[in-house]
Amino acid sequence: MHILFIVPYPTDKAPSQRFRFEQYYKLLEKNGIQYTVKPFLSRDIWDILYLPGRFPKKAFGILSGLMKRIGLLFSLKKYDFIFIHREATPVGPSFFEYISARWLKKKIVYDFDDAIWIPNYSEANSFFSFLKGYGNVHKICRYAYKVSCGNEFLCNYALQFNTNVVYNPTTIDTDHYHNKTKDQSGVEFVIGWTGSHSTIRYIAEIIPVLAELEKKHQFTFRVISDLKPEFELKSLEYVKWKKDTEIEDLLGFNIGIMPLVNDKWANGKCGFKALQYMSLGIPALVSPVGVNSRIVDNGINGFICSNQQDWKNAIEQLLTNRELLLDMSKETRKKIVDEYSVNSNANNFIGLFN
């Protein structure tokens, strides 16, 4: 069997790719399955994608990607399956998917981990937003042989257009990457958040809570991201995200937070922050949005926080009760290993190509 992976970004760059399918490549090799990866964007364009301006270079990168996709149509015969993550082309109509499925009769496994049919773009790339094919998602679902979705909300959307839908959660490689656990015996207490500039806005909900807690407790609020947040907190500490130090930086957290606003876009999120925290023995505090309530068992391996008072109570309990913190830490990794690890999901992933 030979699988063609059609992906938006270069290998080992984007979290959605790293934790949805790239970490299964070795598993495919182990099962005697060949694969080829074809990203839309080059590494040069990826490096400037979220920077402001540079429109000529970005436009050239998009045009180059479109030409490569057209050329690729002439070599699809040798592939048994085409795995498409998000879309074959980030702009324009879904011509690649249509031709592959309807004309060339190829089996497409269509994968997405966000509510990508809802407009959502960075300010840096707002100039190109009118070119985005948000209306293509339901069409690609129809063209697909099988649809792979990261949570039940996304599955329910896909089921409107395709009956062959698989719940394929975002997973963690607990053997080779997230393979350490937090030592909770230290004196320092760090409340942590990690994510990209596009999700940093969700932190705003609990800034008043942290500001209130600062008045009577000593802690650090550490944010790991690609851009520095602009919040007025004396406890705020910014750490620039780097892949090489990602795990060690996360291990600096005592607890990890994942606040979300209950809207359609947030319901499409796949709980990646909570998965990362918990895989490292870090209790997760999350909003009851999307898959979060499935990942976190309230009061056992974290807390589900519906309002600011819940956030305050949960953080304060763990700040002041070291025994509770230690007990929760023991439960977190077990949940991920059992239900959200590469090993636990291996047969489900391989089954996408049956």
| pLDDT tens-digit series, residues 89-108 | 998 999 999 999 999 999 99
The last residue of one of the domains, among 108, 135, 168, is 168
Q: Which two tokens stand for residue 106?
A: 């190829």
Q: What is the tens place of the pLDDT at every residue in 122-134?
A: 444 444 444 465 7
Residue 120 banded pLDDT, cuts 50, 70, 90: low
CB contact set of 66 (below 8 Å; sequence gap of 6+): 89, 91, 92
149 and 244 housed in the same domain: no
Q: Which two tokens stand for residue 122?
A: 């960075």
Tell me, what's the pLDDT at 129? Answer: 44
Which stretches within the chain are classed as H helix? Answer: 15-18, 25-30, 43-48, 55-72, 95-98, 137-143, 152-158, 207-214, 246-250, 264-267, 272-279, 292-295, 308-320, 322-339, 342-350
Tell me, what's the pLDDT at 125? Answer: 40
The CATH number covering residue 276 comes to 3.40.50.2000
207 and 117 housed in the same domain: no
Least confident of 26-40, 71-85, 128-142: 128-142
CB contact set of 60 (below 8 Å; sequence gap of 6+): none
225-249: average pLDDT: 94
Percent pLDDT > 70 in the chain is: 96
Q: Is residue 344 part of a domain?
A: no
213 and 327 housed in the same domain: yes
Whether residue 226 is predicted with pLDDT greater than 60 in this model: the reply is yes
Tell me, what's the pLDDT at 106? Answer: 98
Q: What is the tens place of the pLDDT at every residue in 188-205?
A: 999 999 998 888 999 999
Whether residue 317 is predicted with pLDDT greater than 70 in this model: the reply is yes
82 and 231 housed in the same domain: no
294-304: average pLDDT: 97
26-49: average pLDDT: 94
Tell me, what's the pLDDT at 133? Answer: 58
> Domain range for residue 101?
2-168
- Mean pLDDT of the residues in the chain: 93
327 and 234 housed in the same domain: yes
Residue 47 banded pLDDT, cuts 50, 70, 90: confident
Q: Is 222 helix (H, G, I), strand (E, B) or coil?
A: strand
